Structures are given as C-alpha cells and as structure tokens.
Structure 1
C-alpha cells in the first residue's frame, strides 16, 4: 500500500477574505507598519481541528500585485480588534476567525494607485511548526479599487487602538 502524504488526511485550508485596502503614509501604526498599503484580511478556520498560520523562511506570507508602479511584499500583521502584533505560528482553533490588518510594503512609488489586483497567500498546517509535506497555502485574490490614505474618510479600514502593541 502506498504512503499518503500527511496533509492529504488533514483538514481543509482556512478561508481568507480580503476587505478594504488603503495607503499607509508614515508610521501610522506604531513602529510595526511603515509606508506601504494595508489590507483588512479575515482568516477563518471552518474545520473541527486546530490549525496554525505560518510566516517563516520557506513558508512565508506572500502578497502579489499587478501594478507597474509598485511591488508589494508582506511586512507585518496586527489583530484588527486588539491591535496586538500577530506572532507566527498563529494558532486558529476550530471555528475561530481572526481579522488582521496586513501591511504590505512596496518598492517603488507609494502614491495613490488607482487600482490594485493581486493575491494574498498564507501558509498553514495542522502542527505548530511546518512539517513536510505541508498543505498548499490558502490563497485569496483581491481587487482594491483605489487606495485612499488611511486617514481619509474614503478609507474603509480603521486601525485598532494601541496598534502595534507587542503581545505578552
């Protein structure tokens, strides 16, 4: 009988949904976020098993974009309610959901981009540390029709109180 990879018997991936996106000028969230863009991202574990979200070498959160003016990359995440910095691996119990404000820095002009399309890819697994083989990352596409500054009334994201507070 052939061996089946451990992830084949594991639970399904978390569900990722991407909300608004706004330009983040300056250090608008303590010393955690720098210039770039913020996205409101909800990650939900719809299974009956605990899962972990990873962000470490070999298993990095990846943000892609289609803009010729910028090149987005993942910088940090804070809990959208508490403002605490999300540390990885991040545990997500059965049925739990976490909304994070994900910061994607950019190479290039961080001006107001008319429209950004791309993906957010989050590595995950059934153990606190990645063990080979790991399941494919959870991926969500997004379209951000304009990126108003976070301080603008046109921005749908509200940074949480004490944004960027270290857990502990």
Structure 2
C-alpha cells in the first residue's frame, strides 16, 4: 500500500504534503467505506493463506475482532455520503482562483454541532478530472464567510472588506 502511494507520488511529481481526493465528494466517502470493509477481509485472506494452524487462527481471529469496529466505521461513512453529484455540506466551496494548472479554493468547514465553522484555503490540482491532489495552505477557526482574490502574485483572503490573510504564491 505504501509503495503504491510512493509510486503515484513519484509519477505525478507531487509536492509533499498532499492528499489525494476524488473530485466528487461521494466517491471519497464510499472509498473509505469500502477500504474499511476491505481491511478485515484482507487480514482474513492472509490468515487463510498461512501454513501453520496457530498463525492462521490468530489472523482469522484478528480479522473477526476488527470486523465490528471497521464495519461500524464503514456504515457511518456510507450513511454520511452525499448523493451522487451533490456537494459535501461539511466542506463547502466559497471561492476559488486559478493560477496556472492549480486552483486555490477557499472552503467553509462544518464539523457538526460540537464546533464552530472554519475557513480552509487549499491548493488543488485536478488529474484526469477524477482525482485531485490537495495541499492545505491556510486555515482560520471560527469564521464562516470569505473570498480569495489574486492580487500582485499574492492571495488575499477577504471577509466583509477586511483582509484575513495574505499568502504569497
């Protein structure tokens, strides 16, 4: 798994740190749901391929123990997934600026009833229209409105006429 991620990073020439995400939010949720179910299944299959009786039993037992929490996690991700083509309400796009092949997108984050809104500016590059590499650039907790502008090779994050931050490209 790690070698695959390093291979993708090397081929794409991506800077670190970055996150790979799908362009459609629904796919992000469903990929987590499927991966959560796949981990105990993979452990069980590895256990079945082992030769000794004790290692086989231990691996299958471990898979059984992990199946419940991973299954619950998978169910939560599947239930929170937005409809196909819908936007993710927990990460709402407010504004964006294009700069070459990359886009700087300002999002409003909403983690639910227990915390306040926040703003996150991310540098994103779309690959093949399906996958997006993202790098966090700036964030502010307890803010809910903003706009990103490109002025003199600097990004200005504005809210109600006030400059919240300036980020050099």
* Structure possessing the higher radius of gyration over alpha carbons: 2
Q: Check whether TM > 0.5.
A: no
Which is richer in helix? 2
Of the two structures, which has the highest relative contact order with CA contacts closer than 8 Å and spacing of 6 or more?
Answer: 1
TM-score (norm 1): 0.29
